[in-house]
């Protein structure tokens, strides 16, 4: 638990230490590691969505110039995954998606490695492919993993079967009874969203070497410990034989929350005895991106005339692609996001990760929360319309408040959403309507709410108080650009030790140096690593004050740490420097250091209502977004006129950095909602192969986001802070989708809203969504439980 007296000291706009090198081009990312000793590897990838490997002869490639080693499936035999070990690193016997790696070649130059790929003799015999979830759920569908039952289960409790990689359900209360009530209106909606590609500027990359019998991987990753575990699994070596270090990472957004090419680099390094670099080309990165998944959603609600949601049921199909990956875990999130925002009577939700013969998906900033919030908020507007209530009024009355229970029956503390809605009204009034900017175009506005969670889990930290009065923080946190390692963490440590944040050195991630950590993502770093760091500081402070108390002949409780000194309370200048106390400590018992750790606090849910969930109860984080936009009926193009955010941050440790996260996250959301589209063609490949046709937001597509940071909501993080990097994208699709519906008067049920889609909407040319593979009977969409 944080000492709140340090909180004020922790709050500041501390600048980033890495800014100078980044702006002068000196920063070395993983892709910049090089030199003549480094070999370069390229991957042979499948150009079929589903096929049997009839022939794979790599011998001709060995004779090609510069080739040093070739790895195939038998060199990396172990299976891995999240929840279930269904993943192989290099395909053996069959390929399950277009782009699946089959072999890896290390050569003196990248050109040589690529040229040698052409010499591999590969014959694939096409097999039937399931390219859509409808295909995969059809009767007699071909199984993407016929051997699914034989896979090792890594997390108990999941229900699965056939093409359902994983299923998570929550059932609380008597939903049938709620829907049978006479006094309710029943509202039903279908929604559908496409994939989103992260496009971090640094692609996935790894440089591995084999040193003293151990693998050392420099990886561009968010999860050094996952890379360590997965590498050990696939290579069949003890985890302790793998060391992962992480240089500065050039963006992740969730793409790097899983291992991918790192073990390939490792095995080639062992084979050659040389460092081996693997860097995905932009085309490879784009075409095998572990995207935010496409999904299909059906929601049904029973609502009284007052808007009380007495019953709700939902089915969410999430395309996990050819392997389960993150989607297995993310099925859990549906309950907390689609099941969030509003007070619910009885509820049942089923979330299924469905195998298809398409590139596997992954985690992307606020993950499935983004589209579940879109579906939920569109559905909420439809409910309000159906019962004739103003859309804002509905939200004001029915958002979750103090002591309300969540979908899983967890009791939430504090009124947060309702006051945030009020703050939005104030923000909206302050800047005024932009309706006049719409001119002759259609004008629309919407305000939406969203629920996300702090994805906590284990973290470890060690703080060494150095002889010179500086401190070194050792964790396996990673700097992706979000600033946590440069700003929030040194601020937290500095405030706790009474030193300047400039004097806190934050060590870059090294699994040999720090304890285990779940990884950087989900908005967890400031909270989990921050809390672990704070715990480490408590140990350090205790040792420090113990020695100081003897030197100054004053009880510990009367001592304060500030500006590098230890003073007697109320008598500035009376004490001594930290440096002197450290010197004294060293002569008595040695250098001062301390370790701390953190893990998910025991939130409680209603026992027995969930199945297949990785997390039953959460610390919620909320957001309220407002959007005003104009639509050109000639083109279907959307012009965002105003965008406003009220965000639950707990406590804003570095308001300027949070501003950066909000502006960046919202603009990524603009891309998701409006023009970042991925379509899958009949070969199972993405049509969008690079920046020419995967349309990222440009400077001309952004506007300055107006925001208000909502502080003071209950929070477990240090100084009451909550993660701020993940959530800014959460309700963007929802706010834009609802505003487009408002502007056009049409039913908006899919994302992205590209200009052709909106034109078709205006022309009434979009066929209504139909998901025949989602049964109207909720229980038929779940696997029978024993």
What does 700 interact with, of other proteins, ligand FES, none (CB < 5 to 8 A by kind)? other proteins
The answer to the question of residue 305 lying near other proteins (CB under 8 A) is no
Number of residues that bind ligand FES (CB under 6 A): 3
Tokens of 777: 């009977």
Distance in Å, CB of 655 to other proteins, minimum: 10
In sequence order, the 6+-apart residues with CB closer than 8 A to the CB of 452 are 336, 337, 366, 369, 523, 620, 621, 622, 623, 726, 727, 730
Phi, psi of 289 (to 5 degrees): -60, 135
Distance between CA atoms of residues 656 and 660, nearest Å: 7
Q: Which of residues 310-369 bind other proteins (CB under 8 A)?
A: none
Alpha carbon 224 to chain centroid, angstroms:
15
- Burial class (CB within 10 angstroms; exposed 0-12, middle 13-18, buried 19+) of 376: buried
Tokens of 618: 């959460």
Shorter beta-carbon distance to ligand FES: residue 251 or 633: 251
Q: Which of residues 705-734 bind other proteins (CB under 8 A)?
A: 705
The answer to the question of residue 25 lying near other proteins (CB under 8 A) is yes
Which residue of 2, 6, 11, 31 would you call a contact of other proteins, by CB under 8 A?
Answer: 31
Which residue of 675, 722, 771, 773 would you call a contact of other proteins, by CB under 8 A?
Answer: 675
- Burial class (CB within 10 angstroms; exposed 0-12, middle 13-18, buried 19+) of 395: buried
Q: Which residues of 630-646 are buried (b: 16+ CB within 10 A; e: fewer)?
A: bbbeeebbbbbbbbbbb
The answer to the question of residue 27 lying near other proteins (CB under 8 A) is yes
Q: Which residues of 134-151 are buried (b: 16+ CB within 10 A; e: fewer)?
A: bbbbeeebeebbeebeeb
Distance between CA atoms of residues 288 and 282, nearest Å: 10
- Burial class (CB within 10 angstroms; exposed 0-12, middle 13-18, buried 19+) of 5: exposed
In sequence order, the 6+-apart residues with CB closer than 8 A to the CB of 12 are 491, 501, 653, 654
Distance between CA atoms of residues 451 and 57, nearest Å: 52
Q: Is the CB of residue 744 less than 8 Å from the CB of residue 755?
A: no
3-state secondary structure 544-603: HHHHHHHHHCCCHHHEEEECCEEEECCEEEEEEEHHHHHHHHHHHCCCEEEEEEECCCCC
What does 698 interact with, of ligand FES, other proteins, none (CB < 5 to 8 A by kind)? other proteins
Distance in Å, CB of 222 to ligand FES, minimum: 14
The answer to the question of residue 403 lying near other proteins (CB under 8 A) is no
The answer to the question of residue 697 lying near ligand FES (CB under 6 A) is no
Distance in Å, CB of 758 to other proteins, minimum: 10
Q: Is the CB of residue 736 less than 8 Å from the CB of residue 750?
A: no
What does 687 interact with, of other proteins, ligand FES, none (CB < 5 to 8 A by kind)? other proteins
The answer to the question of residue 677 lying near other proteins (CB under 8 A) is yes
Shorter beta-carbon distance to ligand FES: residue 201 or 589: 201
What does 185 interact with, of ligand FES, other proteins, none (CB < 5 to 8 A by kind)? none
Q: Which of residues 54-73 bind ligand FES (CB under 6 A)?
A: none
Ramachandran region, residue 645 (left: φ > 0; alpha: ψ -120 to 50; beta: rest)? beta
In sequence order, the 6+-apart residues with CB closer than 8 A to the CB of 630 are 437, 438, 439, 441, 442, 443, 444, 638, 639, 641, 743
Which residue of 18, 425, 558, 584 would you call a contact of other proteins, by CB under 8 A?
Answer: 18
Distance in Å, CB of 66 to other proteins, minimum: 13
- Burial class (CB within 10 angstroms; exposed 0-12, middle 13-18, buried 19+) of 551: middle
Interaction pattern, residues 732-771, with other proteins; x per rule: CB under 8 A: ----------------------xxx--xx--x--------
Only one of the segments 179-187, 339-347, 593-601, 682-690 lies at the binding site for other proteins (rule: CB under 8 A); that segment is: 682-690
Interaction pattern, residues 469-488, with ligand FES; x per rule: CB under 6 A: ------------x-------
The position carrying tokens 């095995």 is: 267
The answer to the question of residue 20 lying near ligand FES (CB under 6 A) is no
Secondary structure (3-state) at 185: strand
Shorter beta-carbon distance to other proteins: residue 198 or 524: 198
DSSP labels, 232-287: HHHHT--GGGEEEE--B-S--TTTTSS--SHHHHHHHHHHHSS-EEEE--HHHHHH
Which residue of 92, 282, 396, 507 would you call a contact of other proteins, by CB under 8 A?
Answer: 282
Distance in Å, CB of 772 to other proteins, minimum: 24
The answer to the question of residue 251 lying near ligand FES (CB under 6 A) is yes
Which residue of 76, 474, 657, 743 would you call a contact of other proteins, by CB under 8 A?
Answer: 657
Which residue of 34, 118, 153, 201 would you call a contact of ligand FES, by CB under 6 A?
Answer: 201
What does 744 interact with, of other proteins, ligand FES, none (CB < 5 to 8 A by kind)? none
Shorter beta-carbon distance to other proteins: residue 237 or 760: 760
Which residue of 280, 357, 610, 668 would you call a contact of other proteins, by CB under 8 A?
Answer: 668
Only one of the segments 509-517, 531-539, 629-637, 767-775 lies at the binding site for other proteins (rule: CB under 8 A); that segment is: 629-637
The answer to the question of residue 699 lying near other proteins (CB under 8 A) is yes
The answer to the question of residue 665 lying near ligand FES (CB under 6 A) is no
Shorter beta-carbon distance to other proteins: residue 16 or 423: 16
What does 675 interact with, of ligand FES, other proteins, none (CB < 5 to 8 A by kind)? other proteins
Shorter beta-carbon distance to other proteins: residue 214 or 274: 274
What does 560 interact with, of ligand FES, other proteins, none (CB < 5 to 8 A by kind)? none
Largest Cα–Cα separation, the chain: 83
Q: What radius of gyration, in Å, describes the C-alpha atoms of the chain? A: 27
Tokens of 590: 């040695």
Beta bridge mates, 185: 303
Q: Which residue is nearest to ligand FES (CB)?
A: 201
Distance between CA atoms of residues 259 and 229, nearest Å: 9
Distance in Å, CB of 200 to ligand FES, minimum: 8
Tokens of 509: 């991630």
Which residue of 4, 8, 28, 143 would you call a contact of other proteins, by CB under 8 A?
Answer: 28
Which residue of 254, 311, 483, 490 would you call a contact of other proteins, by CB under 8 A?
Answer: 483
Distance in Å, CB of 199 to other proteins, minimum: 5
Tokens of 77: 């035999």
Q: Which of residues 595-614 bind ligand FES (CB under 6 A)?
A: none
CA trace torsion 708, 712, 717, 723 (10° rounding): -20
Only one of the segments 402-410, 478-486, 500-508, 586-594 lies at the binding site for other proteins (rule: CB under 8 A); that segment is: 478-486
Distance in Å, CB of 280 to ligand FES, minimum: 14
The answer to the question of residue 467 lying near ligand FES (CB under 6 A) is no
What does 15 interact with, of other proteins, ligand FES, none (CB < 5 to 8 A by kind)? other proteins
Secondary structure (3-state) at 352: strand
What does 81 interact with, of other proteins, ligand FES, none (CB < 5 to 8 A by kind)? none
Tokens of 537: 């500081």
Shorter beta-carbon distance to other proteins: residue 481 or 519: 481
Distance in Å, CB of 197 to ligand FES, minimum: 14
Beta bridge mates, 594: 463
Q: Which of residues 225-264 bind other proteins (CB under 8 A)?
A: 248-251, 253
Number of residues that bind other proteins (CB under 8 A): 77
Distance in Å, CB of 281 to ligand FES, minimum: 12
Q: Is the dihedral of CA 473, 478, 479, 481 positive or negative?
A: negative
Footprint of ligand FES (CB under 6 A): 201, 251, 481
């Amino acid at each position: 638990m944080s000492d709140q007296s340090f909180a004020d000291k922790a709050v500041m706009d501390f600048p980033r230490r890495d800014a100078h090198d980044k702006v002068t081009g000196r920063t070395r990312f993983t892709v910049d590691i090089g030199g003549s000793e480094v070999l370069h590897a390229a991957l042979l990838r499948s150009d079929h969505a589903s096929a049997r490997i009839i022939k794979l002869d790599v011998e001709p490639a060995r004779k090609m110039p510069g080739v040093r080693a070739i790895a195939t499936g038998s060199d990396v035999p172990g299976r891995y995954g999240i929840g279930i070990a269904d993943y192989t690193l290099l395909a053996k016997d069959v390929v399950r998606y277009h782009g699946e790696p089959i072999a890896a070649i290390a050569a003196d130059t990248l050109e040589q490695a690529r040229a040698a790929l052409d010499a591999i003799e590969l014959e694939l015999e096409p097999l039937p492919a399931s390219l859509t979830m409808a295909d995969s759920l059809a009767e007699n569908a071909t199984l993407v993993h016929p051997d699914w039952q034989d896979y090792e289960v890594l997390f108990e409790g999941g229900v699965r079967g056939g093409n359902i990689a994983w299923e998570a359900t929550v059932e609380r209360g008597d939903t049938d009874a709620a829907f049978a009530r006479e006094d309710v209106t029943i509202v039903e909606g279908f929604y559908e969203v496409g994939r989103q590609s992260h496009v971090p500027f640094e692609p996935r990359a790894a440089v591995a070497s084999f040193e003293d019998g151990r693998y050392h991987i420099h990886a561009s990753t968010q999860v050094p410990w996952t890379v360590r575990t997965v590498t050990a699994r696939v290579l069949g070596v003890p985890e302790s034989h793998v060391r992962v270090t992480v240089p500065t990472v050039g963006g992740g957004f969730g793409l790097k929350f899983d291992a991918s090419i790192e073990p390939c680099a490792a095995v080639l390094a062992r084979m050659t005895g040389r460092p081996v670099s693997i860097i995905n080309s932009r085309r490879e990165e784009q075409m095998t991106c572990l995207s935010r998944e496409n999904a299909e959603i059906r929601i049904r609600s029973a609502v009284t005339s007052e808007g009380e949601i007495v019953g709700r049921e939902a089915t969410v199909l999430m395309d996990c692609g050819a392997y389960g990956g993150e989607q297995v875990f993310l099925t859990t999130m549906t309950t907390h996001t689609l099941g969030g925002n509003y007070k619910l009577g009885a509820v049942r939700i089923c979330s299924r990760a469905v195998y298809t013969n398409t590139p596997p998906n992954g985690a992307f900033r606020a993950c499935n929360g983004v589209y579940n919030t879109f579906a939920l908020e569109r559905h909420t507007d439809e409910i309000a319309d159906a019962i004739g209530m103003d859309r804002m009024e509905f939200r004001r009355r029915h958002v979750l408040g103090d002591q309300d229970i969540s979908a899983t029956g967890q009791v939430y503390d504090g009124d947060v959403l309702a006051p945030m809605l009020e703050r939005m009204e104030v923000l909206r009034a302050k800047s005024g309507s932009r309706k006049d900017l719409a001119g002759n175009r259609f004008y629309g506005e919407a305000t939406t709410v969203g629920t996300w969670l702090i994805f906590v889990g284990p973290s470890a930290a060690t703080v060494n108080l150095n002889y010179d009065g500086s401190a070194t923080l050792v964790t396996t946190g990673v700097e992706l650009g979000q600033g946590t390692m440069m700003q929030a963490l040194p601020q937290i440590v500095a405030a706790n030790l009474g030193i300047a944040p400039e004097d806190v050195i934050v060590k870059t991630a090294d699994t040999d140096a720090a304890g285990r950590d779940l990884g950087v993502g989900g908005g967890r770093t400031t909270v989990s690593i921050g809390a672990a760091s704070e715990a480490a500081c408590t140990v350090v402070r205790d040792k420090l004050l113990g020695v100081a108390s003897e030197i100054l002949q004053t009880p510990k409780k009367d001592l304060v740490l500030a500006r590098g000194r230890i003073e007697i309370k109320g008598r500035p200048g009376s004490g001594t420097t930290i440096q002197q106390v450290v010197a004294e400590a060293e002569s008595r018992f040695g250098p001062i250091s301390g370790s701390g750790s953190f893990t998910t606090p025991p939130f409680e849910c209603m026992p027995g209502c969930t199945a297949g969930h990785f997390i039953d109860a959460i610390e919620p984080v909320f957001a309220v977004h407002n959007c005003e936009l104009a639509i050109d009926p000639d083109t279907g193009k959307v012009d965002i006129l105003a965008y406003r955010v009220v965000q639950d941050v707990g406590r804003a440790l570095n308001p300027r950095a949070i501003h950066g996260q909000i502006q960046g996250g919202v603009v990524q959301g603009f891309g998701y909602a409006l023009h970042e589209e991925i379509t899958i063609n009949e070969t199972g490949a993405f049509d969008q192969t690079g920046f020419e046709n995967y349309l990222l937001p440009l400077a001309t597509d952004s506007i300055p986001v107006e925001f208000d940071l909502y502080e003071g909501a209950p929070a477990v993080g240090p100084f009451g802070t909550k993660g701020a990097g993940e959530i800014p994208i959460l309700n963007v699709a929802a706010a834009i989708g609802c505003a487009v519906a408002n502007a056009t008067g049409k039913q908006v049920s899919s994302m992205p809203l590209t200009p052709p889609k909106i034109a078709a909407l205006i022309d009434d040319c979009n066929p209504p969504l139909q998901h025949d593979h989602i049964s109207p009977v909720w229980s038929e969409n779940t696997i029978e439980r024993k």
